[in-house]
Amino acid sequence: MDLKDLDLNLLKLFDAVWQERHVGRAAMRLGLTQPAASNGLARLRTALGDPLFIKTPSGMVPTTRAEELAPIVAEVLLRLRSALRTSADFDPASASGSVTFGLSDHAEFLLAPELAAHLASAAPGLALRLRHTDKRDALDLLERGELDLAIGVLPPGPAHVTRQILYRDSFAVLTSGPDVSTLDSFCAAEHLLVSAAGSSKGAVDTVLEAQGRSRRITLTVAHYGVVPAILRARPLICTLPRRLAERVASGCTVHDLPPGLEISAVPLTMLWHSRADADPLHIWIRRLIAEMARG
């Protein structure tokens, strides 16, 4: 594609399909009809000489070319939005006041330490307040203005709530002993489930049920922090997003999923209300979090 022929709306469409993995939802997000979105995607495919997204029963799967383009397109759009939304130079060193973020247990483990350290250095006058949030209350807290932004495995909200996918993470198995090299041994083992809501099953169970299999969940906890201590004390296994498994592994071993168990990557997302779109401080922090997530 020649830059002179580049249509910014096609980049926005690409980014929306990438994040939603569905043309219809991408169209709704952009305020388009589905035929208009489909036509735009067809134009983009022709211009780039690549199908970009392949339709499957589980959604639109990106091609290798799309995987290469996605972070570049996201960065271009983010920088353009930031440049258009504020003309004033922002100096984080002079920032004051406080910001309140809602983080899931997952997001807090992965992002809070680095975020806290960076803000202490770059914006020492800014107080950071973290509180727990998840898919049950994130949108409501944003609507009420109790959160500046929310991060977790969160669903899309209404049009005035922006959803940015920070990254997609594959799953891994964390254990201090039990064999997980085969699907049979994996299913035969006793499992630890982490669920803030106290659920009786997770993503693993949905995949196993589709294969006519099941596993034994013998312990459910609400927080990830206790997982390593439990696994060291009792021969259980716990299936977690890989980055999280590697972060909490202390004294345990991270394994690949056993052959035959394929779980869709989990997207860690950031949400914020449109009232914060043009705020220089919020723009700076959102860019900072996106950069940390990519690292």
Question: pLDDT digits over 90-115, tens only?
Answer: 789 988 888 999 999 999 999 999 99
Residue 261 token pair: 């168990």
Instruction: Let me know whether 175 and 256 are in one domain.
Output: yes
CA–CA dist 294, 147 (Å, integer): 23
CATH code, domain with 132: 3.40.190.10
Instruction: Let me know whether 77 and 159 are in one domain.
Output: no
Dihedral angle over CA of 176, 179, 182, 183, nearest 10: -70
| pLDDT surpassing 80 at residue 295 | no
Instruction: Let me know whether 162 and 274 are in one domain.
Output: yes
Instruction: Let me know whether 97 and 69 are in one domain.
Output: no
Return the pLDDT at 207.
94
Domain count, the chain: 3
Q: Give the SS3 label for residue 104.
A: coil
Return the pLDDT at 81.
67
Domain boundary among 85, 115, 141: 85
CATH code, domain with 68: 1.10.10.10
Looking at residues 197-210, what average pLDDT do you find? Answer: 91
Instruction: Let me know whether 53 and 64 are in one domain.
Output: yes
Percent of the chain with pLDDT over 70: 94
Q: Which pLDDT tens digit goes with each residue over 227-244?
A: 999 999 999 999 999 999
Looking at residues 148-158, what average pLDDT do you find? Answer: 92
Q: Which domain holds residue 222?
A: 171-264
Q: Which pLDDT tens digit goes with each residue over 46-95?
A: 988 999 999 988 789 999 999 889 888 877 886 676 566 554 567 899 88
Long-range Cβ contacts of 25-33 (<8 Å, 24+ apart) = 25/156, 29/156, 29/159, 31/159
Looking at residues 186-194, what average pLDDT do you find? Answer: 96
**Residue 236 near residue 219, CB atoms below 8 Å:** yes
Instruction: Let me know whether 144 and 273 are in one domain.
Output: yes
